[in-house]
Chains A and B, each alone.
Chain A
């Protein structure tokens, strides 16, 4: 008995040791050969598709092997900032958003792409939607190429509204949306009026809420960095948002983020949802319960002409990378026109990483499946103005965020209190008075820098 056990143990250990020789530890930093690159990216569905298509297409065409590390959004942000701030050169390409790219560019952690763009005629930078290029540039140089982009708009169930005899205005105001939410609340058993994110996080609750604040005339910071978090407009907007979600919003709102709201709309638990344009692909996908019954309206407004946000998961090259040419080849392929064709023909046109190129919206194949939301999406992205999103001039770029490194902390801290207000544990006024103090601390640093 014991002999067999020892033999089994020895065999397993030996086997494991032998296997590591071929699979386990390749090498130190920047593992893999000279014709391979390492890519660190967020695990959104579009990236998972990319991962599947890379070996058979990109690697086959160019001979460049791509090693991916895929992580959830928060983890990938941590990991990228750790990698890029130390310039360890482990990863050649990373998926960054238009929040990080201007900041990383100023820190010289990522490489400018203009030279590559100029030499790569096939890439066609002029086809990239203008607000995208603007938000991925710093001091006149392009530092990132969008993989897919999004704005925000209002999604609603046409059939539910029609049954109540309501038509969605072509350009709804928030007051109109609140009225509709009240009318359709309970239109079907268990159905609530609207889904709005309540989950704490600068990228969760404060993505839609900051766009509401903008259009109500509020701002996080005025141009001289005076914070406006407890200014009347900011308070009015937040009270409006919190009241709306408390009265006619989804169940479990303080924990609801993008995913929860997507579920709610797909399963018929809510009649409307204000969120990312990229959600429409999932709503209209084959097998979606209410496919074809969704309507799309621009982001509701109050004082501004448009209110939609702008967000793009994009590719940047680490400054310390020693394989920048290969890295650009990968970016050019992944963000190129041909890749969209490839996804369309192999995985289906609803899965195309859209929202970045004007040509996508002229593609007949794409329009066939995306007719319901293609035009509203493009219009929303083109209407977004990251440099001037509100009624007053801003000290930093960004619509649903303020493009400074301190914003994630600030936004997340304030969002926790606003989320508590949605849960009824505190009031909006208390939450924002606290937020104002936090914002003052941040503002002080920038005001001092300005004075120097």
Chain B
């Protein structure tokens, strides 16, 4: 409680810093809006809508298909106005989706938390107080992403088999953490680089410890960045299929593995798969909406210089 209150008070400079960051950003936009004739504004709006709808169309189509019966879903040419049905959802929930969904949630939430816990100090050591040869360190982080996962899958499988951690969710958590760590370090590093040096100096003058500085000064300033990094890590681990498919079995199977289980080579499955895909993507959508305002700030942070 007291921590939250403190950060609220100490976060005041943060708030003004953020505001001062956005004001110059919104200024020119307004000027442009006034300067250009209204017609091009209408065109731009229309274009934005067209692009938006184009991007949303496959998802909307998926949602529509999920509410059709299997026979209607398989029709070619498609029947948009076919009667709606909940059969797809019934099939999905009858198949017992809770264990895989919980596994996914566990793997995504814990690995994301671990990633942030490790990436935040690492990013600090690579931007605000750079360690020796910090560019090399940064590049090393990136280089771990250069080997495609599929190239490492056999050793990962054999190792897990020997150690006896096949089909164990903690093995996935470990892998997801290491898979997302470089991305998070890179993302957070660029956000931390934006923190005004004066604030850190003021903190050290006031005698704040490193932990205190990180927790109460730096973290609130880069919260949008942390939110963006967390969301990306969450999405990546939530959607991960390759590792999960190879390394899990009956116990630790995640939602994407469960989702593929609806595809069959005998019989119809489109409506079921669409229903399952929709339900499985809901948590990511929810996380996205929850972090939306932070995310926009986070993603545009550093864009205006």
Q: Determine the distance from Cα of A203 to Cα of B257 in the docked complex, in whole angstroms.
A: 23
* Least distance between A278 CB and chain B CB atoms (Å): 7
Asked if A342 is at the interface of the complex by the 8 Å CB criterion, the answer is no
Q: Write the chain B residue with the least CB distance to A252.
A: B76
**Whose C-beta in chain B lies nearest to the C-beta of A88?**
B161
Q: Which residues of A contact B106 (CB under 8 A)?
A: 16-17, 19-20, 24-25
Asked if A23 meets B109 with Cβ closer than 8 Å, knowing A45-B264, A75-B245, A88-B161, the reply is no
Hey, what's the 0/1 contact readout for A68-102 against B, CB within 8 Å counting as 1? 11111101000100100010101100000000000
CB of B85 within 8 Å of the partner chain: no
- Is A364 an interface residue, CB under 8 A from the partner? no
Contact partner, B261, options A29, A72, A203, A267, Cβ 8 Å:
A72
Name the distance in Å between B1's Cβ and chain A's nearest Cβ.
7
Query: What distance in Å separates the Cβ of A135 from its nearest Cβ neighbour in chain B?
Result: 19
A212 CB-CB contact with B under 8 Å: no
Chain B residue nearest to A13 (CB atoms) is B109
Residue in B closest to A29 when the chains form the complex, CB atoms: B166
Q: Is A439 an interface residue (CB 8 A)?
A: no
Q: In the complex, are the beta carbons of B264 and A43 less than 8 A apart?
A: yes
Known: A24-B169, A90-B167, A259-B265. A68 touches B250 (CB 8 A): yes
| A16-B106, A16-B109, A38-B249 known; A86+B161 contact, CB < 8 A | yes
> Is the pair B266, A45 in contact by a Cβ cutoff of 8 Å?
yes
Cβ of A26 within 8 Å of any chain B Cβ, yes or no, is yes
Q: Is the CB of A28 within 8 A of B109?
A: no
Complexed CA–CA distance, A123 and B123 (Å): 65
By a CB distance below 8 angstroms, the chain A residues around B1 are 3
Question: CB of A40 within 8 A of chain B?
Answer: yes
A27 and B110 CA atoms in complex are apart in Å by 18
A187 to B108, CA, bound (A): 56
A29 — which chain B residues lie within 8 A by C-beta? 161, 164, 166-167
- B268 at interface (Cβ–Cβ under 8 A)? yes
- Of the listed stretches B20-28, B96-104, B188-196, chain A binds B96-104
Verify if A388 is at the interface (C-beta below 8 Å from B): no
Which residue in chain A gives the minimum CB-CB distance to B164? A28
Is B4 located at the chain interface by the 8 A CB criterion?
yes
Is B161 within 8 A of A32, CB to CB? no
A28's contact among B165, B245, B263, by CB below 8 Å, is which?
B165
B236 interface residue, CB < 8 Å from A? Answer: no
Is the pair B266, A75 in contact by a Cβ cutoff of 8 Å?
no
Q: Decide if B252 touches A24 in the complex (CB within 8 Å).
A: yes
B8 within 8 A of A: yes
Q: Are A13 and B113 in contact (CB under 8 A)?
A: yes
Chain A residues with CB below 8 A from B71, complex form: 266-267
Contact indicator A25/B249 (Cβ below 8 Å): no
Chain A contacts of B164 at CB under 8 A?
Answer: 28-29
List residues of chain A with CB within 8 A of the CB of B261.
43, 70-72
With contacts A12-B109, A71-B260, A75-B260 known, is A2 near B4, CB below 8 A?
A: yes
Shortest CB distance A83–B (Å): 8
Q: Which residues of A contact B268 (CB under 8 A)?
A: 259, 262-263
Q: Is B168 positioned at the interface, with any CB of A under 8 Å from its CB?
A: yes
Do A73 and B252 have beta carbons less than 8 Å apart?
no
* Min CB gap B233→A, angstroms: 14
Query: Among B74, B250, B260, which residue has its beta carbon within 8 angstroms of that of A263?
Result: B74
- A288 → B minimal CB distance (Å): 9
Q: Are the C-beta atoms of A31 and B267 separated by less than 8 Å?
A: no
Bitwise interface map of A from 1 to 42 toward B, beta carbon under 8 Å scored 1, else 0: 011001000001100110110011111110110000011101
B270 to chain A, nearest CB (A): 10
Contact check, A31 vs B109: say whether CB atoms are below 8 A apart: no
Q: How far is the CB of A283 from chain B (nearest CB, A)?
A: 12
- Flag if A31 contacts B245 (CB, 8 Å): no
How distant is the Cα of A257 from the Cα of B113 in the complex, in angstroms? 45
- Counting chain A CB atoms within 10 Å of each CB, the highest count among B94, B158, B161, B169 belongs to B161
B129 located at the interface, meaning its Cβ lies under 8 Å from any Cβ of chain A in the complex:
no
Instruction: Given the known inter-chain contacts A12-B109, A24-B106, A73-B265, please indicate yes or no for A82 contacting B246, CB distance below 8 A.
Output: yes
Q: Report the separation of the CA atoms of residues A68 and B100 in the bound assembly, to the nearest whole angstrom.
A: 12
A44: CB under 8 A from chain B? yes
Q: Which residues on A sit within 8 Å (CB–CB) of B253?
A: 69
B292 in the interface (beta carbon within 8 A) = no
User: Which residues of the other chain, A, contact B263 by a CB distance below 8 angstroms?
Assistant: 43, 72
- Chain B residues lying within 8 Å of A27, measured Cβ to Cβ, are 168, 251
A-B contact pairs, 10 of them (CB 8 A): A2-B4, A24-B252, A25-B106, A29-B167, A31-B250, A32-B250, A48-B95, A259-B74, A262-B268, A276-B266
Interface residues of A (CB under 8 A from B): 2-3, 6, 12-13, 16-17, 19-20, 23-29, 31-32, 38-40, 42-45, 48, 51-52, 67-73, 75, 79, 82, 86, 88, 90-91, 203, 252, 257-259, 262-263, 266-267, 276, 278, 282
Which chain B residues have a beta carbon within 8 Å of chain A's beta carbons? 1, 4, 7-8, 71, 74-76, 94-95, 98-99, 102-103, 105-106, 109-110, 113, 157-158, 161, 164-170, 245-246, 249-253, 257, 260-268
